[in-house]
Amino acid sequence: MKDIAIKGATTPPTFEQAKNRRQKARSAGMDPDYWYAVEYDLALKPGQVIEVIFWHTSIALYRGQDGQLRALDNRCAHRHLKLSLGQVDGNYLVCNYHGWAYNEAGELTRIPHELFNKPMPVCKLQIYPVQVRYGLIWIFPGNPTLAEKRQIPDIPELEGDNRWACVPLDFTWNAHHSMIIDNVSDFTHAHLHRQYRPFTDAKLTRCEQIGDRVYVDYNTKVGTGKVFGLFVDRKRVNTNAMKLCYEYPYQWSSTDNQIKHWCFLLPINSRKTRVFFLFYFDAIIVPFTSLRIPQWLMTYVLKIANPLLIKPLLSQDGVAVEAEQIGYETHLDAPIIEISPAVHLFQQLTIQKWEEHLAKSEKKALCQVEAKFSDC
């Protein structure tokens, strides 16, 4: 999806310039010291390289001929071309311009032209930890020493021999990540989905922040749409309530532990976010019967249901958040009229985590300056 110039819009304030909670939430980044889903594992074959952007930082992600994924700064040390424009040679990444080659440690290891009697320059690009889980490639864009301590969320239903079927969906929306979090966990927007009715008559029964999580529970009728409603096993599953959580920086929902989803955000910049949705169910029946659809068959069911039901439903959210982004940029100083307490907590957590990150970065920069002086 292309960035669109907004007629009548003014440049939104930066986080430092933000004058109120909404402006702060809409300009906050996401803490890089977490694992972020960036691409499907199957999207990258051996010998391929792509660009991935995490909050303005461009990363070259490639798969060597040995099948291993590697990620490094997307900037050739020579004249700063993006390495994602280059080629994978064995397990090296080669810049397209003069052919300088980098190894998996990010070290410049080969220059294929004359060196003019000079020694080989010593250059090392930043590398990023990478892993694959749930069919997605995850990158740790922050301090690599924290990568082992931080975990990708455990989803036991999606691992092991008896794992549930899941066919992920993704979208790239021209909207700030905080707008997407407000959208996916706040059920005051049932009107938007009046055609599909994924949740109706929602009444908030819990809304609280505990640590880095905001818990939101609703009494609501889940999946009452004309088509999806036929497939839901209402005898076995309580479809009158749903729990949701903004588990920073991720989001999930659960209906009686049988209808679940995770939402993984990749913040690209302040008005563009890629979002991966993983839906998985153990509550789907053959319509007009009580026969449960076994998990082995669910992959095929989801391959049909995703484009017919789930994708059109989520696309309505995409249209809404992109329109909200335009509205925000056009009316930056309009009064804030937000009545959902859940949205207040989501925005508060986003701001709090970004402030913590900025404070950490400032402290680190200060320590580096002090270390430099003490060396002298």
Binding partner of residue 232 among Fe ion, ligand FES, none, CB under 5 to 8 Å per kind? none
Q: How many CA atoms does the CB half-sphere of 130 hold within 13 Å?
A: 24
Nearer residue to ligand FES within complex by CB, 70 or 221: 70
101 binds ligand FES (CB under 6 A): no
Cα–Cα–Cα angle for 309, 311, 315, rounded to 5 degrees: 120
Give the count of residues interacting with ligand FES (CB under 6 A). 8
| Single residue of 97, 294, 361, 365 touching ligand FES by CB under 6 A | 97
Which residues sit opposite 309 in a β-bridge? none
Binding partner of residue 76 among Fe ion, ligand FES, none, CB under 5 to 8 Å per kind? ligand FES
Give the count of residues interacting with Fe ion (CB under 5 A). 1
Nearer residue to ligand FES within complex by CB, 21 or 82: 82
78 binds ligand FES (CB under 6 A): yes
98 binds ligand FES (CB under 6 A): yes
HEC letters along the chain: CCCCCCCCCCCCCCCCCCCCHHHHHHHCCCCCCCCEEEEEHHHCCCCCEEEEEECCEEEEEEECCCCCEEEEECCCCCCCCCHHHCEEECCEEECCCCCCEECCCCEEEECCCCCCCCCCCCCECCEECEEEECCEEEECCCCHHHCCCCCCCCCHHHCCCCCCCCCCEEEEECCCHHHHHHHHHCHHHHHHHCCCCCEEEEEEEEEEEECCEEEEEEEEEECCCCCHHHHECCCCCCCCEEEEEEECCEEEEEECCCEEEEEEEEEEECCEEEEEEEEEECCEECCCCCCECCHHHHHHHHHHHHHHHHHHHHHHHHHHHHHHHHHHHHCCCCCCCCCCHHHHHHHHHHHHHHHHHHHHHHHHHHHHHHHHHHHC
- Taking the complex as a whole, how short is the minimal distance between the CB of residue 333 and ligand FES, in angstroms? 44
100 binds ligand FES (CB under 6 A): yes
- Residues 41 and 297: their CA atoms lie apart, in Å, by 22
Q: How many CA atoms does the CB half-sphere of 152 hold within 13 Å?
A: 24
- Taking the complex as a whole, how short is the minimal distance between the CB of residue 276 and Fe ion, in angstroms? 16
- Residues 16 and 234: their CA atoms lie apart, in Å, by 49
Binding partner of residue 317 among Fe ion, ligand FES, none, CB under 5 to 8 Å per kind? Fe ion
Nearer residue to Fe ion within complex by CB, 43 or 204: 204
Nearer residue to ligand FES within complex by CB, 86 or 318: 86
Nearer residue to Fe ion within complex by CB, 88 or 321: 321
Which of the ranges 92-100, 117-125, 152-160, 291-299 carries the binding residues for ligand FES, by CB under 6 A? Answer: 92-100
79 binds ligand FES (CB under 6 A): yes
| Alpha-carbon Rg for the chain in angstroms | 23
- Taking the complex as a whole, how short is the minimal distance between the CB of residue 286 and ligand FES, in angstroms? 58
Contact (CB, 8 A) for 31 and 357: yes
Residues 25-64: x where in contact with ligand FES by CB under 6 A, - otherwise, as a string: ----------------------------------------
Nearer residue to ligand FES within complex by CB, 19 or 79: 79
Binding partner of residue 300 among Fe ion, ligand FES, none, CB under 5 to 8 Å per kind? none
Nearer residue to Fe ion within complex by CB, 157 or 317: 317
110 binds ligand FES (CB under 6 A): no
| Single residue of 39, 157, 217, 317 touching Fe ion by CB under 5 A | 317
Nearer residue to ligand FES within complex by CB, 95 or 259: 95
Nearer residue to ligand FES within complex by CB, 37 or 94: 94
81 binds ligand FES (CB under 6 A): yes
Which of the ranges 93-101, 130-138, 196-204, 311-319 carries the binding residues for ligand FES, by CB under 6 A? Answer: 93-101
The encoded tokens of residue 145 equal: 């020493």
Q: Which residues sit at the interface with ligand FES, rule CB under 6 A?
A: 76, 78-79, 81, 95, 97-98, 100
| Binding site residues, Fe ion, CB under 5 A | 317
